[in-house]
Structure 1
């Protein structure tokens, strides 16, 4: 391949006023030259050098001003090896337009974040009433088990969420995650013993542990680059929304002591919506590429 040579041509147009300015500048350079010649016949060289420096400075500033006011950007022509002339237009980056196509799917994924916050906050208002209902009002140890069993399940779920997402895909993992979320909510709402309550809380904890791993993963992989940073903070926002929803759901407890069962049962609704919504959501492009690359390498 022949090496390409590029010739950049620029043209400067002078109007009548700029021509007059150029003549004045030329006279200034000529006057500077005459000062330099006179220095050869004088004995005081310092005075001559000072005068010549001042005149050169004025002339240089005038040239910069002249070119700054007259030079205009022109299209650059690039000459290739075969003598072809190609017009090179200046690069203008196109404005990126944020697409709202992914927003419904991000909203579906954020149901997992809402459930994360809801299960964390729902026990705060309901613990006193469920303890009386289950007969453990004086047993603080069992009450502690009911509270902390959610975090124990979340620890297990957080370790398995990533591997499940890589094996089954992001949307299928969401649908699998809805099973322990809904089952845990149902067991907690219908519990007649402490053991059933703890099992329900563990299942709900496994569900929120898995969702804590795959919700930000899925959102970041389906979001366009220009709004990826903004959508990345949506997960934390909806966790706070879930905690707030749990606190609001506990307001009727003062008038209805058995309302705590309804509070836990309400968590099954977002779980079902999560499973149904992920059936209509697209799979992560990154996971699809990983599957394609694995199949391609395995057939080589």
Structure 2
């Protein structure tokens, strides 16, 4: 086995709600030895194809940064700060709706159909934006694209997680995450390239239709996931897909895999079959252990969204233009590149150092970096209407601000960005789906708050005040990690759930971790 696989379980945890654990069947005595065989090339090609959806997600969220500074009066009017906030935040609102709808319908109608619908939605939204000559049409286009963003964020990792062999699942889901950040990076680069082209923002947006068309054209080559086929009684088709994923498997191993997946489906169905949504809601909010686990998950997600990162994702070009950079869209590429590159350290170190340690370092680093940004803004003359006082030129304060933001993004990408998706695995199976939905609502809800208030807050509180406010949120998040975020990496789920019966379980988790290390050491030293 590849040595890198030593930390794959932690990578798989990054979005645990995006797939079900078919391997649980092994604990019931079912044969899942097919997972020890080498997968074929088909699964890698399928994952690469479907990950174009992740690229689309990243591109359409990143492209708005350059568009905002290039619109001018192309929509029939000069845009106010409120107009810019509306254009930006409406996509997050659409994403919230798209994610919920995708989650509610994909089990019934399948993952592939959801991806096709997503491609169509992306295409329509892109066309509406690229041909917009009014604010209303641009807003509608951004809303429609938001539906696609939410659907892609929900369905693509779900499809990959259900299609991938267990030992490569982490890498393939990581690849989708990489495609998201790569899409954002490409959006920044193309935004910079078309900055000086007349109405170049239209071309930048229109290019987003290309991967949507390519994904729709190649999806017929990708099968439905075995789990979906089995859940709808299409076992023969599922066998063909499993043979394609595991070409070296025996016929008996294929049959056994069908049994393992069916067992997992039946286990999930049994856990909620006679439970109403109201019962699940009561269990989630009235059982202390469940509520503390949910609070932990949603609090870390809120910090990841309210800590200021999305202001850079959506308004970086506007911000860098404000502080004196002549090629603001080109400088914005630094945001995308840093976000892309520093996503890798988390995957390399999370299992070695643990989630709590990573958060303690990175969230504090985010807070301190934003303090430096707030101080740098104090020396950059900006009026209350966000116009510049004095000569519009780059100064030492501008350079300091850029460096501090790069450090901030590095801490964000290496820590809270991926870890914020971990928490809902701590919930019992019977309320996990509902907890996952609430975590998703927290993500997009906080995203809406940030994107719809940033420019208004800059005017009302001054830029220094705004970034000091975000620094304060990050600092509160760091305090939350110290007192309320238990270290649970490498623990079985039964132990994880036990932790939350002891308050937030920080001290109890430390004791369990120590006992687990001692047990492993005894096993290794035993003859």
TM-score tier (shorter): 0.5 to 0.7
Partner of 1:271: 212
Judge conservation of contact 1:128–1:137 (CA < 8 Å) in 2: no
Please give the secondary structure, in 2, of the residue aligned with 1:146. Answer: helix
Match of 2:130 among 189, 196, 199: 189
Match of 1:224 among 161, 165, 171: 165
Please give the secondary structure, in 2, of the residue aligned with 1:192. Answer: coil
Judge conservation of contact 2:64–2:88 (CA < 8 Å) in 1: yes
- 1:216-295 matches, cutoff 5 A: 216-292=157-233
Q: Distance in 2 between matches of 1:144 and 1:131?
A: 15
TM normalised by structure 1 equals 0.64
TM normalised by structure 2 equals 0.37
Once the two structures are TM-superposed, the CA of residue 95 in structure 1 deviates from its matched residue by 6.4
- 1:87-102 matches, cutoff 5 A: 96-102=37-43
Q: Deviations over 1:155-180 (max 9, x none)?
A: 10010112221121111111111111
- Pick the structure with greater CA Rg: 1
Q: Distance in 2 between matches of 1:286 and 1:95?
A: 19
Q: Deviations over 1:211-257 (max 9, x none)?
A: 11111110011111221121121121111000001011112233214
Where does the alignment leave 5 or more consecutive residues of structure 1 unmatched? 1-92
Partner of 1:174: 115
Q: 1:97 to 1:262 in 2, by over 3 A?
A: same
Q: Distance in 1 between matches of 2:79 and 2:216?
A: 39
Partner of 1:211: 152
Judge conservation of contact 2:72–2:78 (CA < 8 Å) in 1: yes
Please give the secondary structure, in 2, of the residue aligned with 1:261. Answer: helix
Where does the alignment leave 5 or more consecutive residues of structure 2 unmatched? 1-33, 236-265, 267-527
Match of 1:202 among 143, 148, 153: 143
**Between structures 1 and 2, the one with greater helix share:** 2
Q: Deviations over 1:82-140 (max 9, x none)?
A: xxxxxxxxxxx996424322111111211110011111110101112214322443511
Q: 1:291 to 1:258 in 2, by over 3 A?
A: same
Q: Distance in 2 between matches of 1:256 and 1:175?
A: 33
Q: Distance in 1 between matches of 2:221 and 2:106?
A: 17
Q: 1:168 to 1:139 in 2, by over 3 A?
A: same
Judge conservation of contact 2:194–2:204 (CA < 8 Å) in 1: no
Q: Distance in 2 between matches of 1:209 and 1:172?
A: 15
1:107 maps to 2:62:
no
Q: Distance in 2 between matches of 1:262 and 1:153?
A: 23
Match of 1:145 among 86, 90, 94: 86
Aligned CA RMSD, in angstroms, stands at: 2.2
- 1:112-151 matches, cutoff 5 A: 112-151=53-92
Judge conservation of contact 2:94–2:150 (CA < 8 Å) in 1: yes
1:157 maps to 2:86:
no
